[in-house]
Structure formats: C-alpha cells, structure tokens
Amino acid sequence: MLLASLNPAAVARGAEIADAVDIDGVRLSRSDIVGGATSVAERVAGAERVAVLATPSPATVLAITGCLIAGVTAVPVPADVGAAERVHILKDSGARAWLGEKPDDTEGLPHIPVRLHARSWHRYPEPPGDSTALILYTSGTTGAPKGVPIRRDAIAADIDALAEAWQWTPEDKLVHGLPLYHVHGLVLGLLGSLRIGNRFVHTGRPTPEAYAVAAGTLYFGVPTVWSRIAADNSAAGALSGARLLVSGSAPLPVPVFERLSDLTGIRPIERYGATETLITISTRADGERRPGWVGLPLTGIETRLLDDDGSEVPHDGETIGRLEVRGPTVFDGYLNRPDATAEVLSPDGWYHTGDVAVIDADGMHRIVGRESVDLIKTGGFRVGAQEVETALLGHPGVREAAVVGVPDDDLGQRIVAYVVGDARPEELIDFVAQQLSAHKRPREVRIVDALPRNAMGKVLKKELAQWD
C-alpha cells in the first residue's frame, strides 16, 4: 500500500498519532487524515484527473491524499504560476476540476472544495501499482513545461530506498518549508511521511527561525535555505539535536556544507534526482558524506557515464561523462510528448539526465552540472563549472558565484564568473589560478548584486549567459 501509515488496520493497531501532520497552524491526527482524505475520495472517485492548487495547507494535504486513496491522478499547480502556464498545465494534463483551495481564475473548470471536518470510513481497494499517482510539471526552462506522470510503484520504491539509505523510521519528525508541487517537498516530504509513518511539520516559509523551533530529527532544505541557516549561529545551533540535514534540488556549496558541519556537528546528506526519475543517488546515514559529492545509487538504481561517442568513461573521480540512470523510479515518458520522450529515454530504460558527472573508484558520484550550461569546452579542455564555483566560494570576499561558458573565437568558450561579493575581479582570477589548473581559471569575473534564481533556488544560467 502506497500510504502505508494510513492503512485502517495500521491505525487500528495503534499507529494513531495526534500530530501526524502539522501545517499552516493546523494539526491533523492520523485518523483526521484517514477520515478527511477518504471523504475527499468519495467526492472525486471516478474522475480521471483533477488539479490541486498546491499551497502549504491542510486542504492540499487532504486533496492529494484523497486522490491517492481513490486512485484519481492529482495535478499539483503552483499558486504563483503565471496565467499562460496555468492554462497550459490544465489543458495538457486533461484535469477536469479543481480540488481543494479555489484559484482566482478557475479557467472554466468546476471547483470541488475540501471540507476539513468531514469524515468518511469507506474502504477503497488499493489502485494498481503502475497507475499514475501524480502529474508533475517540469520548470519549463526549454519551452512550455512538460508533464511527468509518476507511477504509484515508483513513489513507493523511491521512498523505501531512501528509508533504507537514511535509516528513516516512524520515530522521525520530518521538517521542511518547501513547495508542495515538486518531488522534494511533496513526494519526499509529505508522501514519504505518510508512507513511513513519521510526524511531518511544514513550516510555511523555510526561515532559519522556523526550522530552529520545529525540533525535528530530519530536515529537508534547498541550498538557499541551508545557506541562510549557516549564516545564523543561533538557528544552526538549534538544529544540533537533529539526526539528518538533507540538501537537494541544487548543489550545496562546499563552504555551506562545512559551516553547517561546524555549527551543528552534523555533516549534511546530499542527494540527486529529477522529476522524471525521483531520487536516484544519495549519501547514506551510515556512510561517507563528502562535500560536493551526492553519494551512491539507491537500491535498485543503475548509473553510467558516457562520452561523446557513447562509450563508458572510467570511474576515476576525474573524467567527466554524461550521466544516465535506470531503475524502478524512472518515468515511462512525458505526457503527450512522444518526441521529447524519445530524446531522453532509451528503449532499454536508460534516462539521459542532461547532467554531466564524475564517479570515483568507490562509486561515489559528483554532479558537475547541466551538460548544456555547466560543461565548458575551452581551449580543448572540458571544465566543470561547479569546480570553478567551489574554488571561488572559498574566497572570503565571495558570497555567491555562478560560472558559465560564453562563445569565444579563440577558445571556443571562455570561462566567465558572476560573483556576488566585494572582492576585486583580478584578485579572484588569480585566486582560482592558484587552486586549479590554469585553463580552469575565469577569463573574466563580473561583480553583480544578485544571481537570477528560480523558485527552488537554482541559478538560471541560460539567463545569466545572456547578460551583457
């Protein structure tokens, strides 16, 4: 059963928890969720797909959970999505109604409210494992967002593999303040907690203060969140009683990793994944947690690195290759996009991630970045932007750094660094040249007030590369 902790038999055996979910100032017990979500299931049963305005609220929790109980596909829609993108998501997904909170513009679809105090104890059979639980939409950095159908059995396999890697148990209390329309916040945070049976706290905004008072054992955050906590000695100290601090959705800068370790006594867990694959690689609770490295493939996951000719590259910790993954968490293809599916998914199940990486002799993975923007081919050399960024972040005058390759008549591409900080450009070029090979130094450093980022904190490098 996907939502294992909501199995009525589990609740009857004493799995009741008074504060199973704490969100938006409301605490829901295990039976609140079972009864409330089953009431939702009765109202949507028989529908194929419904849209859910994915705010961090009890209505969203019960809407998503009710869909999973009834076997209805939920389409989480960000509350702050633009009008054109919202219309695209609704039409592309085939959603027939809005469930839960009502958006300002329903686009002509009927609205089904969630009644927070309604309860039902009807029993529904477990839907097939290969049925679609969710349709999540990618960020749309290359055209309109693509719909990613996610199977129930893929979610279950991923959560179980992470539970094994992180020693995640019902005794944990998981805390985060991330959006409930992405894999990180929704699938891992909420659905993971409902499957494992641990307490779940959503802090609203992921501020250092909110994380500090939550008293969790397991925390999720994106690098921006961890950077802010690392800059707040009091908040970081309050997290020292936690068991794991998990970072994902973008690379965690090594200086942030090290400062968190120093302030909390906990070396962060880093992991890697995508909407199309869920989480596939992670460091382990009982294993090495190396700054800048995302760890080992989860149980059931295979990975490989390929060169430009399609040959596998050596696992020497240095040679960069295109990362591909295969396993039970990988999707079956984009919704309504066989052309896009064929570009990334091979007939034998290998997903072409679009990322480049290195693997060492022990199987540890380090993500270099996106092949399109983070693999820089300069003067006949292949340089990973992240390595240069890490070097720059080691300078006391650098708060943030992003490195891109821009066209160059002589070099093919030249390395350009955008830096938030107060160091002099010439000083930073020399600083990198002293740490890395000469061909990896930036040819140009531009000091900026801020880096462009998306809602998950990822730097928008394609936009950055167009800055003059």
Q: Give per-residue pLDDT as tens, 198-249.
A: 999 999 999 999 999 999 999 999 988 999 999 999 999 999 999 999 999 8
Within the chain, all domains assigned CATH 3.30.300.30 are found at 375-464
**Residue type at position 125:** P
Higher-pLDDT residue of 192, 16: 192
Q: Check pLDDT > 90 for residue 268.
A: yes
Q: Are strands 321-326 and 351-359 parallel, antiparallel or unpaired?
A: antiparallel
Quote the pLDDT of residue 8. Answer: 60
Q: Check pLDDT > 90 for residue 160.
A: yes
Q: What is the DSSP string of 104-149?
A: S--TT--EE---TT-------PPPPTTSEEEEEE---TTSSPPEEE
Burial of 165 (0-12, 13-18, 19+ CB in 10 A): buried
- 60-68: average pLDDT: 98
Half-sphere exposure of 238 (CA within 13 A, CB side): 15
Give me the architecture of the 297-370 domain, per CATH.
Roll (2.30)
How far apart are alpha carbons 259 and 101 in whole angstroms?
40
- 336-350: average pLDDT: 96
> Which residues lie closer than 8 Å to 186 by C-beta, 6 or more apart?
54, 64, 76, 134, 136, 179, 180
140 sits in the region (left: phi over 0; alpha: psi -120 to 50; else beta) called: left
- CATH pick for 375-464 out of 3.30.70.141, 2.60.40.3680, 3.30.1490.20, 3.30.300.30: 3.30.300.30
Q: Give per-residue pLDDT as tens, 270-294.
A: 999 999 999 999 999 999 999 999 9
Quick one: CA torsion of 89, 90, 95, 97, rounded to 10 degrees? 130
Quote the pLDDT of residue 455. Answer: 65
pTM for this entry: 0.86
Q: What's the residue count for the chain? A: 468
Within the chain, all domains assigned CATH 3.40.50.12780 are found at 4-190
Quote the pLDDT of residue 12. Answer: 59
Fold of 4-190: Rossmann fold (3.40.50)
**Token pair for 77:** 């829609």
Neighbours of 101 (CB within 10 A): 17
Quote the pLDDT of residue 133. Answer: 98
Within the chain, all domains assigned CATH 2.30.38.10 are found at 297-370
Q: Check pLDDT > 70 for residue 73.
A: yes
Quote the pLDDT of residue 91. Answer: 96
Kindly report the CA angle at 220 between 375 and 163, in degrees rounded to 5?
95
- 110-115: average pLDDT: 96
CB of 49 closer than 8 Å to CB of 64: no
Q: Check pLDDT > 60 for residue 414.
A: yes
Instruction: Sheet containing 147-151: give its strands across.
Output: 111-112, 98-99, 49-53, 73-77, 132-137, 147-151
> Which residues lie closer than 8 Å to 108 by C-beta, 6 or more apart?
none
What are the helix and strand counts (H, E) for the chain?
14, 24
For 167-187, letters b (16+ CB in 10 Å) and e give ebeeebbbbbbbbbbbbbbbb
